[in-house]
Chain A
Amino acid sequence: MSLSVLLYEDNDILRESIGSMLQLDEHYHLSNSFNNVLLAEKQVIEIKPDIILMDIDMPGRTGIEAVKQIRAMGLTIPIIMLTVFDDTEHVFDAICAGASGYLLKKHLSFKLFDAMHEVLNGGAPMSPSIALMVIASLQKPQQTKSYQLTAREKEILSSLSKGNSYKMMADEFYITIDTVRAHIKKIYEKLQVHSQTEAVSKALKERLV
């Protein structure tokens, strides 16, 4: 059976193209697509997709906001952010808000299925700029949230931020690429777990009020 994909993208031609692309792989099918996330929570509950592709910059409400709300409802559906750049705070914010991974739009045509596969199997790539942002957020003196990263995870982050590939890191630390990937997955989880508890407590508060 094929997995249902929910797509949010405000560029109409791109949205249609992605939709066409998804038809090429029998493992996936596009259950629905929208050009905004204003009703995202309701749509997610109704459609119950297996994976969500979400543009970051959309009119009215950003993809990051939508991710936060979806995670606040306690839903763990994998969400892949679509972005033109990977060196912006947006991507990092999205990951912290609970996004499972991200995909550069220029790589859509040849990395989309790989990316979905990776995310669904619990691994997502991380670029040096994202790694730098994670490190920066760890070093902030007023940082109250502690991701409780292990020493090795920090080493991986540091190496990653210097532009080293998974392979280079594997060579550097004398581990396999899979282990590198596992570490990175763990880092993602720690970032998200934190942001989820934060989001939940915030949502609870809002409801209580």
Chain B
Amino acid sequence: MYSFYLRIPFLSMKILFSFLLSFLCTIGLAQKADSLKTVLLKTNTDTTRAILLSVLADELTRSNVQEALESARSGLYLSKKISFDRGVFENSFSLAAAFQGQAQFDSAVFYFHFANGVAEKREDLSGQAEVCSSLGHSFMRKSMMDSSRYFLDRGLALAKEAHNYRVEAGIYNNYGNVFLEESNYQKALDYFVQAAKLYENPLADDYGQAMALSNIGNIEYRLGNYDQALDYAWQSMNIAKRKKLDPQIGYAHKLLGRIYRKQKKYDSALIEYKQAQKLYVTLGDVRSAAELLQNIGNIYFDKEQHRDALTNYQQSLKLAKSISVKPLIAYSYSAIGQAYAILKKNDDALVYLDSARNAAKAIGNSYLLMDTYDAMSSVYESKGDYKKALSVHQQLAQLKDSITQSENRQLAEETQAKYELEKKEAQITLLTKDQELKRLALERQRAVQIGSAIALLLVIIIAFLLVNRYRVLNKAKRLAEIEQVRNTIARDLHDDIGSTLSTINIISNLAMRENLNGNNHHLSRIAEQSSKMMESMTDMVWSINPINDSIEKVMVKMKVFAAEILEPKDIAVKFFGEESLNGLLLDAEKQKNLFLIFKEAINNAAKYSEASQVEVTLKQSEGKLMMMVSDNGKGFSEESIKAGNGLINLKSRANTIHAEFKLSSAESKGTRIEVVLPIT
């Protein structure tokens, strides 16, 4: 299922060499490698030799690991000597891949890191991405999933940056395998599908697609959906066969075999495995051929054809030994041992199991070791050598414990790591929360500040408005108070003095009546003066009353006065111009003086004119108020005008309010008084 050690050449020169060799493909790996060796011998350029060595190493990885390692090492040495960075990269990568194929992941990781350093130096993004992808694969095989993910993520970012879809697809594949290892089949499926898409478009890589399909099939197999698994496996097989993608054909055969085995269709499984095995032999992929011999052996074992199983195991061992693939050798020893045990050839069994034990110990495969111990214990038991059986069993128990311990330790470590991670995450969360809180606090503080500022501003505005309002109100109130006080004083004064004056008036009248025959001159003067004073006081109080502002009110008062004075003397009075007044407002001073001028004029008319009619005109026009009082009485000459004391009074009143005053009279032609008052 893993095809990642099959490195896809991506450097132009490598592709060129691969292309040169492609016509040999069908011949098989061995021939291909031979051809490469021939080309190498004929090449003198060091850089080309270095690249060729890495290509050769890649080719030999499946068939002859030792040679592959050898080739890559010499390539690396050469490249370093001539300071050929690309060569260093290629060969260290090939070396790492070879170690990976040997399940020597520590060495693989070391050389991958080395290659990565060179790629970084060369600013080769694709190279770095590919190294990351391979590192991810290595760590996955080491069951270090977090490290694996780390490198796969890094590789993915680099691949995307470099627009290297092939590496990207490869990383998706590796990711799928990571999830597969973790039994997260759904996620695995997602990544394999993603890989398949990329292989289809834009890569149009049938190999990749076939591989992705077989990977999907593998997942279905894992999920126990054997029918679907078979379907995908066959799809993969068809593509691979159509395009003659031999390694993929082999892989599809393997997958089919595995599925059939699960379905207990041993014969079908055998057919597939055998075909695969044949193919790998043709391709010179010794390792895969050896693996398949083991698989075939397993099927025979399942079919309880133990002899056939043994034969295949022995062939597998032979091949494994030939290419020095230690894990495979160890498994082969164990398998042979168990087969002999079943065949009751206890001594043979023990020999192989012992070898298996040593090999397993050497490669540090505890599970294989346990298997081997278990088998050994059974063999000793069947031999009746219970002491040995017990000893082995004890070893087995010890191993189990140590594994459990190591598993526990691993688990503990993982837990510890998880705990640390969680702690860190918690700290981060805490920090974030803290920051959030601080931010909130800051926001709240700011909100409070803004709120306070607004509130303060509002308070200031309100206070200003209130103060202003208070001042205005206060002013109005004070004015009103002053007004009221003035009115009260005037009225009280009037009430008091008015009553007193009334009393004086009444008493003087009473006195005159009692003294009908005497000289009442003084008494009548008292009565007259008190009466006049009452009038003056009424006018004074009236004129300071702000309600009497409008000129219409003045006119009402004028009418009342005129009627009061003139009607008893049978003098008709008419008023004109009322409609032009229009609510005109006069200040108290003008109002008072205008009214007093009017009164004087009416009094004069009543006393001296002997008129039958008085006409009063009060008219507003062009910013001026005109008052005219005219009678149809006897009038008077200029001389008498000068003599009149009342006229001086009228003029001075007019002057006070800046009004023009005009008097015109002639004998038998009546009298006319005209006052023009500016009102603007």
Contact = CB atoms under 8 A, between A and B. Distances in A.
A108 to B, nearest CB: 5
A46 B507 CA distance: 30
B563 to A, nearest CB: 3
A36 interface: no
Given A105-B498, A106-B531, A109-B527, A128 B556 contact: yes
Contact of A165 (B501, B502, B563): B563
Contacts, number: 85
Given A17-B507, A108-B502, A57 B495 contact: yes
Contacts of B564: 165
B505 A109 contact: yes
A193 interface: no
A87 B542 CA distance: 9
Nearest to B496: A11
Contacts of A110: 509
B502 A20 contact: no
Given A84-B499, A163-B557, A106 B563 contact: no
Given A106-B531, A108-B502, A108-B506, A163 B555 contact: yes
A25 to B, nearest CB: 11
A108 B498 CA distance: 11
A24 B510 contact: yes
Interface string A54-89: 000100000000000000000000000000110100
A56 to B, nearest CB: 10
B502 A161 contact: no
Given A14-B499, A106-B534, A109-B527, A168 B559 contact: yes
B559 A163 contact: yes
Interface in B567-601: 567, 573, 578
A2 to B, nearest CB: 18
A61 B507 CA distance: 28
A17 B559 contact: no
B432 interface: no
A25 B566 CA distance: 28
Contacts of B573: 168
A23 B494 CA distance: 27
A13 B510 CA distance: 14
Contact of B494 (A17, A84, A168): A84
Interface residues of B, number: 33
B503 interface: yes
A43 interface: no
A36 B661 CA distance: 51
A18 interface: yes
A21 B491 contact: no
B162 interface: no
Interface in A9-41: 11, 13-14, 17-18, 20-21, 24
Nearest to B542: A87
A165 B567 CA distance: 9
Nearest to B578: A162
A164 B557 CA distance: 10
A13 B554 CA distance: 34
B181 interface: no
A108 B559 CA distance: 22
B558 interface: yes
Contacts of B435: none
Nearest to B560: A163
B163 interface: no
Contacts of B509: 21, 109-110
Nearest to A164: B559
B538 interface: yes
B404 interface: no
Interface of A: 11, 13-14, 17-18, 20-21, 24, 57, 84-85, 87, 105-106, 108-110, 127-128, 161-165, 167-168
14 contacts: A17-B502, A17-B507, A21-B506, A84-B494, A85-B494, A87-B542, A106-B498, A106-B502, A106-B534, A109-B506, A109-B509, A161-B556, A162-B555, A164-B559
Given A17-B507, A85-B541, A163-B558, 18 more contacts: A14-B502, A17-B506, A18-B506, A21-B509, A24-B510, A24-B513, A84-B498, A85-B491, A106-B502, A106-B505, A108-B502, A108-B505, A108-B506, A109-B506, A109-B509, A165-B559, A165-B567, A168-B559
